[in-house]
Amino acid sequence: MSDKSKLSYYFLKKPDNLVQESNSTPQRTTTNSEIVNINETIVLTEFLDASSPLSSSTSLILHDLSEIYENSSTTTANRPPTATIPTITTSTPTAAHEYDLLNNISINDSSKRDPGRGPTYAKDFLLLGPYQPNIKFPTINRRHFCYTWFQLYKWLEFSEMTKRAYCFVCRYAYSEGQSEKGFTVDGYNNWPVAIAKFNKHQATVSHKYANDLWVNAVKNHKNNNDVAEQLNRQHEKQTSENRLYLQEIIRTVLFLARNLLELLELRSLDNDLIKSKLKSLQYTHHSIQNELLYLIQENILSEIVFQIKSAKYFSIMMDESVDISRHEQVSLVIRYTDDQFHVYERFIGFQRASSTTGEALFKLLVTWLKQLDLDINNIVGQCFDGASAMRGIYKGVSTRLLQIVPTALYVHCNGHILNLCLVDLSQAVVPIRNNFGIITSLYNFIEVSAKRHKVFEDVQKEAGLVSVSLKALCDTRWSCR
């Protein structure tokens, strides 16, 4: 009987005849639960009687891999009763750490392991290997996928999504243009000639190459001797040390922005990490120090802005002053409350002003709030000093802001009001006015001459007094109070 006639004879018979034929065999007894798997028995019988065996090179390699991802006792217990076939057994125990890795992966999550998702996901399941579900396989033209093929082809896997067979090792080492798409992307489902196709596939050069890659990857993972992994661990160790060292640098910068090198030298006497890194990996250039300070500033500012946005409504306080470089610097303070109505006043920073007119200062305020991503319409209060550029009823900052945000109530700074009242009061009382006049004259007499300032310091030392320096009297500056 030819092979084609033999296949027709087996698969066109009714199930009762097949059961009766199987029951006549003295070696085994077929039950009702085995009727579904009769095709497996027939195909395996033909396969084991065939004259052409499996590819020896691929079979030996895959048999050796059975100790990596398969336990023969548990696998046999989970499989349905079918015809007796050669069983692969191993005596090599699996490492404990490998069991931990396997247990951390959801083996039953078919949606992740299913080969129908494509070849790119095969690398995620290196140790688990092929996806071989124990299900009732769908029938196509009276033929279906046989579960026992998994024993014969260790690389074989089945997709519950596409109802097709795939090659795990080829998916693992997938290369477009070189890997066979029928076993990596499209899948295979021509079951009548499946065994011949499987034998032909595993004999290809691309499959053998992919199998070698997978075997080496598993061995490297087991032996923990992967060069890339060792380099990665060394890199992570070096990165961890560098981060710890950078933390010490940041702490030092926060503690003392000046004289950083001298302070690091001092700290290296009792800090081995700084001592070992200071000469080779310094991070002490002034540009790095400035960058660290800038990053710290940005981090603090972002946290303040987050709190302001959480509160939604806020008030602003602005003032301008001339610094030592004769530059006009405008300061901004924002006042807000939390959900418990605790009041917070946060200093935002300084901005250099090109002009001190009401229009220029107002544009500076609007631009500043946009940079902070704060809505100007949420301003409910504004507080400035009594300068005309701030509180002018026609072109002042407060007037311009009220035109846009009517709810931004203007409040004249109480501190400035108190200071102006005290200045006017001191001018009205003659003894106080004369006292301030004498102090101003003394300041002009001593501080305008370096020699007289030196004599003033010597007199303080001889008298056992704490050395102090005189400050100029100013009606509108807090530094002279």
Q: What is the DSSP-derived secondary structure letter of residue 396?
A: S
What contacts 344, CB < 8 A, 6 or more positions away? 307, 335, 336, 337, 338
Tell me: pLDDT of 101 over 70. Answer: no
Annotate 74-138 with DSSP letters as a single string.
Answer: HHHHHSPP----------PPPPHHHHHHHHTS-TT-HHHH-GGG-GGGGGGGTTT-S----S-PP
Tell me: pLDDT of 92 over 50. Answer: no
Tell me: pLDDT of 47 over 60. Answer: no
Mind listing the domains of the chain with CATH numbers? 3-223 (no CATH), 228-284 (no CATH), 312-412 (3.30.420.40), 435-480 (no CATH)
224-282 confidence digits (pLDDT tens): 656 667 778 888 888 898 898 888 888 877 777 666 677 777 778 888 888 887 777 66
Residue 250 CA to residue 221 CA, distance in Å, equals 39
Q: What is the pTM of this model?
A: 0.41
Annotate 422-443 with DSSP letters as a single string.
Answer: HHHHHHHSHHHHHHHHHHHHHH
The whole-number average pLDDT for the span 99-114 is 58
Q: Determine what percent of the chain is predicted with pLDDT higher than 90.
A: 27
Residue 416 CA to residue 272 CA, distance in Å, equals 53
- In Å, how far from its chain's centre is CA 75? 39
Tell me: pLDDT of 155 over 60. Answer: yes
Residue 323 CA to residue 228 CA, distance in Å, equals 56
Annotate 157-213 with DSSP letters as a single string.
Answer: EE-TTT--EEEHHHHHT--TTTS-GGGTTS-B--GGGHHHHHHHHHTSHHHHHHHHH
Whole-number pLDDT of residue 311: 92
Most confident of 17-21, 68-72, 319-323: 319-323
Tell me: pLDDT of 67 over 80. Answer: no
Whole-number pLDDT of residue 258: 62
Tell me: pLDDT of 13 over 50. Answer: no
Tell me: pLDDT of 69 over 50. Answer: no
DSSP-assigned beta bridge partners for residue 343: 337
Q: What is the DSSP-derived secondary structure letter of residue 466?
A: P
Whole-number pLDDT of residue 110: 63
Whole-number pLDDT of residue 30: 37
Residue with tokens 């066109």: 12
The whole-number average pLDDT for the span 43-67 is 43
pLDDT category at 26 given cuts 50, 70, 90 is very low
Residue 316 CA to residue 382 CA, distance in Å, equals 5
DSSP-assigned beta bridge partners for residue 410: 382
Tell me: pLDDT of 345 over 90. Answer: yes
Tell me: pLDDT of 409 over 50. Answer: yes
pLDDT category at 416 given cuts 50, 70, 90 is confident
432-454 confidence digits (pLDDT tens): 888 888 888 888 888 888 899 89
Tell me: pLDDT of 28 over 70. Answer: no
Residues in the chain: 481
Whole-number pLDDT of residue 18: 40
Higher per-residue confidence, 407 vs 269: 407
The whole-number average pLDDT for the span 473-480 is 60
Of 117-131, 145-159, 261-275, 406-420, the one with minimum mean pLDDT is 261-275
Residue 97 CA to residue 222 CA, distance in Å, equals 9
Residue 347 CA to residue 372 CA, distance in Å, equals 13
Helix, strand, coil proportions of the chain in percent (round to 5)?
55, 10, 35
Of 9-13, 88-92, 95-99, 136-140, the one with minimum mean pLDDT is 88-92
Of 14-28, 232-246, 277-291, 452-466, the one with minimum mean pLDDT is 14-28
157-196 confidence digits (pLDDT tens): 999 999 999 999 999 989 888 888 889 999 999 999 999 9
CA distances from 103 to 9, 97, 106, 191 (A): 46, 10, 7, 33
Whole-number pLDDT of residue 109: 59
Whole-number pLDDT of residue 61: 43
